[in-house]
């Protein structure tokens, strides 16, 4: 990941999740209104610029801020390094810098989050998830650690991701759409939003940014876990660089990982019975 990707501002992260928005700040403002202590997590924080901005913006509120990234790289190898990031980008006024409560940083694979069940109120991520191999497992983890009343704001991919229901291509492309998460039943392509709609109800709601880059907004209403029942297809999954359809559409290599999953027969029947599979 480039230095630019690792140093994106909070405004840039907002726009990656939902274009021309301040969705992270607005969501946290709404959660703060409940009047209880909160916990916030950024997945893939890079140098921690956006996380530090958010922590300073809400420093007068009882909020714990956390960041998870796959590994530590200079200049951010410890939580205390965020004090220098705050200075470098002019986030915190110098007189307040020594007393600023910096976010807590953690370095590991976020496919398995090291947080207790129902312990985080807001989870957000931009750019990072496109590199995850096991995206479905990560989404299940997000839903596990979300507290009832909590929200997750997750950018999964860029534009042209929302492939329709239909037959898969018979080569390595599978679909000409630039999706980094593909669901299949045999040779049939199952749209991701249609599949997730099967799991909506009293516990979860899933909203997708259909007409732009792929972001998922998850709301959790009561205690519970998400079990998608998907089987990872290692043979069809792999890096997006080198896929001919991506090269033709983008004109240049585009990094990331395409995660392909097979859905079970009972879930396919439910999709058919509920009329969720429609040929466009």
Higher pLDDT, 45 or 72: 45
Distance, in Å, from the CA atom of 240 to the CA atom of 59, rounded to the nearest integer, reads 40
The pTM for the full model equals 0.95
Higher pLDDT, 131 or 72: 131
User: Distance of CA 66 to CAs 36, 130, 150, Å?
Assistant: 17, 20, 15
- Mean pLDDT value across residues 15-30: 95
* The CATH classification of domain 3-159+193-227, taken from the options 3.40.50.300, 3.40.50.150, 3.40.1390.10, 3.30.565.10: 3.40.50.150
**Residue 280, pLDDT score:** 58
**Residue 253, pLDDT score:** 60
- Mean pLDDT value across residues 250-268: 87
Q: Is the pLDDT of residue 147 over 90?
A: yes
- Mean pLDDT value across residues 79-83: 97
**Residue 259, pLDDT score:** 96
pLDDT digits (tens, 9 = 90+) for 211-249: 778 999 999 999 999 999 999 999 999 998 878 777 666
Q: Is the pLDDT of residue 1 over 60?
A: no
Distance, in Å, from the CA atom of 277 to the CA atom of 280, rounded to the nearest integer, reads 9
Tokens of 42: 């950024």
**Residue 210, pLDDT score:** 81
Tokens of 28: 């946290």
The alpha carbon of residue 254 and the mean position of all alpha carbons in its chain are separated, in whole angstroms, by 18
181-185 vs 188-190, strand pairing mode: antiparallel
Q: What angle do CA 187, 183, 157 make, to 5 degrees?
A: 135
Q: Is the pLDDT of residue 105 over 60?
A: yes
**Residue 247, pLDDT score:** 67
What is the share, in percent, of the chain residues with pLDDT greater than 70? 95
**Residue 252, pLDDT score:** 67
pLDDT digits (tens, 9 = 90+) for 166-222: 999 877 789 989 899 999 999 999 999 999 999 999 999 999 998 778 999 999 999
Distance, in Å, from the CA atom of 87 to the CA atom of 58, rounded to the nearest integer, reads 17
The alpha carbon of residue 129 and the mean position of all alpha carbons in its chain are separated, in whole angstroms, by 5
Q: Is the pLDDT of residue 278 over 90?
A: no
What residues does each domain of the chain span? Answer: 3-159+193-227
**Residue 243, pLDDT score:** 80
**DSSP for 115-162, written as a single string:** S-TT-EEEEEESSGGGG-S-HHHHHHHHHHHEEEEEEEEEE---SS--
pLDDT digits (tens, 9 = 90+) for 35-58: 999 999 999 999 999 999 999 999
Q: What angle do CA 67, 237, 199 make, to 5 degrees?
A: 65
Mean pLDDT score of the chain, rounded to an integer? Answer: 93
Q: Is the pLDDT of residue 157 over 90?
A: no
């Amino acid at each position: 990941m480039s230095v630019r990707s690792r140093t994106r501002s909070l405004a840039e992260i907002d726009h990656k999740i939902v274009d021309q928005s301040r969705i992270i700040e607005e969501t946290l403002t709404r959660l703060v209104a409940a009047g209880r202590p909160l916990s916030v997590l950024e997945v893939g924080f890079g140098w921690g610029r956006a996380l530090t901005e958010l922590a300073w913006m809400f420093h007068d509120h009882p909020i714990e801020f956390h960041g998870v990234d796959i590994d530590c790289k200079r200049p951010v190898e410890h939580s205390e390094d965020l004090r220098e990031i705050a200075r470098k980008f002019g986030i915190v006024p110098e007189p307040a810098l020594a007393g600023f409560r910096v976010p807590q940083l953690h370095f590991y694979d976020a496919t398995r989050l090291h947080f207790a069940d129902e312990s985080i109120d807001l989870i957000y991520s931009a750019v990072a998830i496109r590199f995850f191999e096991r995206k479905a497992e990560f989404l299940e983890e997000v839903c596990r650690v979300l507290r009832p009343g909590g929200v997750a704001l997750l950018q999964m991919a860029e534009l042209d991701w929302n492939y329709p229901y239909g037959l898969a291509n018979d080569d390595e492309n599978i679909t000409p759409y630039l999706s980094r998460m593909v669901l299949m039943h045999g040779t049939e392509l199952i749209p991701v939003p249609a599949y997730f709609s099967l799991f909506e109800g009293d516990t979860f709601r899933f909203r997708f940014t259909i007409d732009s880059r792929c972001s998922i907004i998850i709301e959790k209403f009561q205690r519970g876990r998400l079990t998608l029942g998907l089987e990872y297809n290692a043979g069809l999954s792999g890096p997006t660089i080198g896929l001919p359809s991506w090269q033709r559409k983008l004109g240049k290599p585009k990094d990331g990982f395409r995660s392909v999953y097979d859905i079970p027969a009972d879930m396919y029947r439910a999709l058919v019975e509920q009329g969720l599979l429609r040929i466009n």
